[in-house]
Amino acid sequence: MSADAPAVVCPVCRVEADAESLQCPECAEDLAALAHLAYAGRMHYNTALEHARNGEWEAARDAVGAALAHEPGLAPAVALRDALVTEGRTG
Ligand SMILES: [Zn+2]
């Protein structure tokens, strides 16, 4: 399990999902949908980075906003958002 990955916890058993199968080790509930939610912030952040590389500041700002809506504490997304506030404003 990656230390960077957000934990996915079974809503019934309150135990962490198995990182490989994305199932609850206790009740075998399929937690893949929850895992996707947990990673949604990172996926939007990666999209934002891609847009920023291409100079698409509006799209980058939208994506980083979505990232922070899903995961407000995502530090690299906060940093990217702050950078985007000034970037492209003159252009
Ligand atoms: Zn469970």
For the stretch 9-36, pLDDT in tens is: 999 999 999 988 999 999 999 999 988 8
**For residue 66, pLDDT beyond 80:** yes
- Structural domain contains residue 23: no
* Separation CA 20–CA 57 (nearest Å): 36
- Structural domain contains residue 53: yes
- Structural domain contains residue 1: no
- The Å distance, Cα 8 to ligand 1 centre, comes to 11
- The Å distance, Cα 25 to ligand 1 centre, comes to 7
Domain of 61 in residue numbering reads as: 40-86
For the stretch 28-61, pLDDT in tens is: 999 999 888 888 999 999 999 999 999 999 999 9
**How does residue 1 score in pLDDT terms, banded at 50, 70 and 90?**
very low
As a residue count, the chain comes to 91
**For residue 7, pLDDT beyond 90:** no
Determine how many CB atoms are found less than 10 A away from the CB of residue 6.
16
- The Å distance, Cα 16 to ligand 1 centre, comes to 8
